[in-house]
């Protein structure tokens, strides 16, 4: 394709020259562009790829540095004279807008089937018929209940009309029995307000340039299919964020469709598809049609997910998943690392982090590193960031888990120094560092799984420390995890383990609440495992305790994704209940056995799940507050950090936070990064930076320190 870059190369494009030139995050279509999009007199009327210096694709299309058109996936499109004039006019809104394009010279949309055949063929020149519009045709298919794969900014979505029970159920079954809630897309704030009880802060997030999925309380009268988010009290909604989405939503609205399901274009547990050939192949069995275009996506990014929580004395943004619209914005690291570093993160909800000087760049959410595809995204993502931000890591930081693929990757890097950071220390450090703090602080770090210093599975941890070190000041009472990882998808196993623990090791009776869910003989076998030290690993996981309680309350015995039982238990909680089960805090151990006993008695007495759930949450919050307050006093610190995936539980987060504030303590919660393992890489970076010899140390924590980083020089 001929274009201005054939005869007018951009002088600044010395490839390594301006590595600090910021590559911005992708930004939702701005108001000016939106006005042009729907203005019949504008030359970009209904053009699905219009953008300007204030909006449009950025990070997802950048292939190299500096940020100039030749190093974007727009390189193949030469600008027409009208676009060049805008591009070169300092007074124009499109002055140096690298992805600048118009219907004459830019990318085009097509509606095709899985075999690549046009479903809305362009009319031959001179034809009397109106030109077929792929967007109008796609909207028509959606209105009729079809499933359409749509190429977006950072990957493919699968879309279906949200109010069509049958269509949504069909999408769910074609995606393979997954029960995770589907996200929704609507055109504007007014439409979002008909689905969500959204407060001011949530509305601000919805219309922010990052255009994330906002999780908020669903309105009882929201017109969406039941199959969309079974058991979930919240809905995830985002506004249209590209011109293509705006056109599609506006065409669909004409056909009576106000909301579309917009879920990641993948099958269960696979990463989102973003390459065109790959998407056609992988989604062929799911999508009836494909709405595509010819601007390649270079970096896969999923939709970011946020919610608003009432914690640490105000409304806070909780980032549940950080990717499109936020990556690659940098974070500050203080103290700064002496040498450039790479932190490899955890295994599930994987991210990586590169740091140089006081700046750290956390990569997009990658997901579970367990598949070949995600591992490739991880490796390629790291290489891409190293080039974009001119970071040549000399220090590589990893989790202590020997089986994490991120650990293996770190160990495979040549010529670097390796630093291991304990998982829950990284959770603590991530929150301290994002707030510019160094500790000492008390950290209640509650999650599903993390490799402990003693080789057991930690996850209900009370740490005291700062960036440079920590001690494990307390933890949940250890319990056997019968069947290891199988206990994650079969919470009834943890119920059995906790009952066995409460009964002093005897094989417990199968409780009535689980009678329909588990066969007697499986229960008995697991009961024997639970009391056999040789056969089941030990864990202090708080996530697994929540699972056990959910199973014992009759919420569910098996799940299709981690945390599902606990999420449904939280959703059931009766907010008016004032009771709480007793969880002991003695000698550094949180002991929930009295709570388990009381809970079983309440279940047997026929109390509602709502009351039981509330009593558990309130009891756990009270014990956590007591433990943190005591440790804070002991340590002489006023600061408490709440982190780990379990703190995505709103009731727990808000009640622990309120309790700590009432006790006169200050509370830090994760805001720019997730409470879950998506923050581990940044936490690892913060620890390694603070430990690097030249780092001006913050206030090092006092007390018995355990160094958790067996540094090895290679
Ligand atoms: Zn714009
Ligand atoms: Zn043009
Ligand atoms: Fe974790």
The structural domain count of the chain equals 1
Residue 103 Cα to ligand 2 middle (Å) = 6
174 in a structural domain: yes
Please give the Cα distance from 6 to 243 (Å, whole number): 28
**Per residue in 353-381, pLDDT tens?**
999 999 999 999 999 998 888 999 999 99
Residue 194 Cα to ligand 2 middle (Å) = 38
Residue 448 Cα to ligand 3 middle (Å) = 6
Any idea which ligand is nearest the CA of 32? 1
Any idea which ligand is nearest the CA of 92? 1
Any idea which ligand is nearest the CA of 86? 2
End-to-end alpha-carbon separation of the chain, Å? 49
Task: Say whether the peptide bond before residue 335 is cis (omega within 30 degrees of 0).
Answer: yes
**Residue 669, Cβ neighbours under 10 Å: how many?**
23
Any idea which ligand is nearest the CA of 43? 2
**Would you say how long the chain is, in residues?**
714
Any idea which ligand is nearest the CA of 29? 1
Residue 362 Cα to ligand 1 middle (Å) = 26
**Residue 459, Cβ neighbours under 10 Å: how many?**
26
Please give the Cα distance from 255 to 272 (Å, whole number): 29
395 in a structural domain: no
Residue 86 Cα to ligand 2 middle (Å) = 9
127 in a structural domain: yes
Residue 54 Cα to ligand 1 middle (Å) = 5
100 in a structural domain: no
Q: Which two tokens stand for residue 82?
A: 């009208």
599 in a structural domain: no
**Contact indicator for 94, 43 with CB cutoff of 8 Å:** no
Q: What is the mean pLDDT of the chain?
A: 91
Residue 266 Cα to ligand 1 middle (Å) = 30
**Per residue in 563-608, pLDDT tens?**
899 999 999 999 999 999 999 999 999 999 999 999 999 999 999 9
Is a pLDDT exceeding 80 seen at residue 706?
no
Task: Please give the residue range of the domain that contains residue 172.
Answer: 109-293
Residue 378 Cα to ligand 3 middle (Å) = 18
Residue 78 Cα to ligand 2 middle (Å) = 8
454-457: Cβ within 8 A, 24+ apart: 456/537, 456/538, 456/539, 456/540, 457/481, 457/537, 457/538, 457/539, 457/540, 457/541
567 in a structural domain: no
Any idea which ligand is nearest the CA of 427? 3
**Per residue in 314-345, pLDDT tens?**
999 999 999 999 999 999 999 999 999 999 99
Q: Using DSSP bridges, classify how beta strands 457-466 and 441-451 pair: parallel, antiparallel or unpaired.
A: antiparallel
Tokens 């509370």 found at: 667
Any idea which ligand is nearest the CA of 209? 1
Task: Using pLDDT thresholds of 50, 70 and 90, give the confidence band for residue 66.
Answer: confident
Residue 680 Cα to ligand 2 middle (Å) = 44
Please give the Cα distance from 546 to 476 (Å, whole number): 12
Tokens 């065109």 found at: 276
Tell me, rounded to whole angstroms, the distance of Cα 37 from its chain centroid. Answer: 31
**Contact indicator for 406, 399 with CB cutoff of 8 Å:** yes
233 in a structural domain: yes
Secondary structure class of 236 (helix, strand, coil): strand
Helix (H) or strand (E) holding 451: strand 441-451
**Per residue in 249-264, pLDDT tens?**
999 999 999 999 999 9
Residue 344 Cα to ligand 3 middle (Å) = 14
Please give the Cα distance from 217 to 235 (Å, whole number): 6
Please give the Cα distance from 281 to 274 (Å, whole number): 11
- Of the candidates 608, 513, 502, the residue with the CA atom closest to the CA atom of residue 551: 513
Q: Which DSSP symbol is given to 677?
A: G
Residue 679 Cα to ligand 3 middle (Å) = 9
**Per residue in 122-165, pLDDT tens?**
655 555 555 579 999 999 999 999 999 999 999 999 999 999 99
- Of the candidates 579, 607, 484, 606, the residue with the CA atom closest to the CA atom of residue 537: 484
Any idea which ligand is nearest the CA of 54? 1
Q: Which DSSP symbol is given to 407?
A: H
Residue 631 Cα to ligand 2 middle (Å) = 64
**Per residue in 379-430, pLDDT tens?**
999 999 999 999 999 999 999 999 999 999 999 999 999 999 999 999 999 9
Please give the Cα distance from 650 to 646 (Å, whole number): 9
Any idea which ligand is nearest the CA of 346? 3
Residue 107 Cα to ligand 1 middle (Å) = 16
Q: Between 8 and 383, where is the model more confident?
A: 383
CATH number, residue 133: 3.90.870.10
Residue 77 Cα to ligand 1 middle (Å) = 19
pLDDT at 694 (0 to 100):
58
Residue 102 Cα to ligand 2 middle (Å) = 4
Residue 44 Cα to ligand 2 middle (Å) = 9
208 in a structural domain: yes
- Cβ neighbors of 185 (< 8 A, separation 6 or more) are 159, 237, 238, 239, 240, 245, 249, 259, 260, 261, 262
Task: Say whether the peptide bond before residue 181 is cis (omega within 30 degrees of 0).
Answer: no
């Amino acid at each position: 394709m001929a274009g201005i870059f054939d005869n007018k190369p951009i002088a600044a494009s010395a490839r390594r020259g301006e590595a600090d030139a910021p590559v911005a995050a992708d930004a939702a279509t701005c108001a000016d562009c939106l006005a042009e999009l729907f203005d019949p007199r504008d030359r970009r009327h209904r053009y699905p790829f219009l953008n300007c210096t204030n909006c449009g694709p950025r990070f997802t299309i950048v292939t190299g540095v500096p940020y100039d058109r030749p190093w974007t996936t727009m390189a193949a499109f030469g600008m027409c004279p009208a676009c060049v004039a805008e591009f070169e006019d300092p007074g124009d809104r499109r002055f140096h807008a690298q992805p600048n394009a118009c219907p004459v010279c830019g990318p085009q949309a097509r509606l095709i089937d899985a075999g690549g055949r046009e479903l809305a063929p362009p009319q031959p020149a001179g034809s009397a018929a109106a030109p077929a519009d792929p967007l109008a045709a796609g909207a028509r298919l959606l209105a009729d209940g079809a499933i359409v794969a749509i190429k977006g900014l950072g990957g493919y979505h699968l879309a279906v009309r949200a109010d069509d029970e049958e269509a949504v159920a069909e999408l769910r079954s074609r995606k393979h029995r997954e029960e995770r809630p589907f996200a929704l897309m609507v055109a504007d704030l007014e439409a979002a307000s008909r689905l969500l009880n959204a407060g001011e802060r949530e509305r601000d997030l919805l219309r922010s340039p990052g255009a994330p999925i906002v999780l908020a309380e669903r309105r009882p009268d929201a017109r969406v299919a039941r199959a969309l988010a079974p058991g979930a009290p919240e809905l995830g909604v985002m506004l249209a964020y590209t011109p293509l989405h705006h056109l599609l939503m506006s065409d669909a609205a004409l056909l009576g469709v106000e909301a579309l399901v917009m879920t990641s274009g993948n099958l269960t547990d696979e990463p989102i598809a973003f390459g065109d050939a790959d998407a056609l192949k992988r989604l062929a069995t799911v999508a009836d049609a494909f709405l595509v275009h010819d601007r390649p996506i270079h970096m896969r990014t999923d939709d970011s997910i946020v919610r608003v929580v009432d914690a640490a004395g105000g409304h806070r943004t909780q980032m549940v998943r950080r990717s499109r619209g936020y990556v690659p914005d940098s974070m500050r690291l203080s103290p700064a690392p002496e040498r450039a570093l790479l932190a490899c993160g955890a295994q599930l909800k994987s991210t990586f982090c590169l740091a140089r000087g006081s700046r750290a760049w956390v990569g997009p959410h990658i997901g579970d590193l367990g598949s070949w595809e995600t591992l490739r995204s991880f490796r390629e993502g790291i290489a891409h960031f190293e080039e974009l931000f001119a970071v040549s890591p000399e220090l590589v930081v990893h989790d202590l888990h020997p089986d994490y693929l991120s650990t293996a990757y770190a160990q495979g890097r040549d010529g670097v120094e390796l630093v291991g950071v304990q998982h829950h220390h990284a959770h603590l450090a991530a929150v301290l560092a994002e707030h510019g703090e160094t500790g000492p602080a008390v950290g209640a770090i509650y999650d599903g799984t993390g490799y402990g210093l003693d080789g057991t599975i930690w996850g209900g941890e009370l740490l005291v420390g700062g960036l440079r070190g920590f001690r494990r000041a307390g933890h949940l009472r250890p319990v056997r995890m019968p069947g290891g990882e199988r206990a994650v998808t079969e919470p009834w196993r943890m119920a059995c383990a906790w009952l066995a623990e409460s009964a002093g090791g005897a094989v417990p009776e199968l409780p009535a609440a689980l009678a329909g869910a588990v066969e007697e003989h499986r229960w008995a076998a697991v009961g024997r495992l639970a009391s056999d030290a040789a056969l089941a690993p030990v864990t202090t996981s708080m996530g697994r305790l929540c699972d056990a309680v959910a199973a014992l309350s009759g919420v569910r015995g098996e799940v299709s994704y981690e945390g599902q039982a606990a999420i449904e238990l939280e959703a059931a909680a009766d907010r008016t209940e004032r009771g709480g089960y007793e969880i002991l805090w003695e000698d550094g151990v949180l002991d929930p056995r009295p709570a388990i006993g009381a809970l079983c008695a309440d279940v047997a007495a026929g109390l509602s799940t709502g009351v039981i759930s509330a009593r558990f949450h309130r009891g756990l919050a009270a014990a956590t507050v007591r433990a943190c307050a005591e440790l804070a006093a002991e340590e002489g610190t006023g600061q408490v950090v709440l982190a780990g995936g379990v703190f995505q539980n709103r009731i727990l987060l808000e009640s622990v936070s309120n309790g700590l504030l009432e006790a006169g303590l200050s509370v830090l919660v994760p805001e720019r990064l997730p409470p879950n393992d998506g923050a581990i890489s940044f936490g690892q970076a913060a620890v390694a930076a603070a430990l690097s010899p030249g780092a001006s140390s913050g206030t090092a924590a006092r007390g018995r320190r355990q160094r958790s980083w067996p540094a090895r020089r290679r």
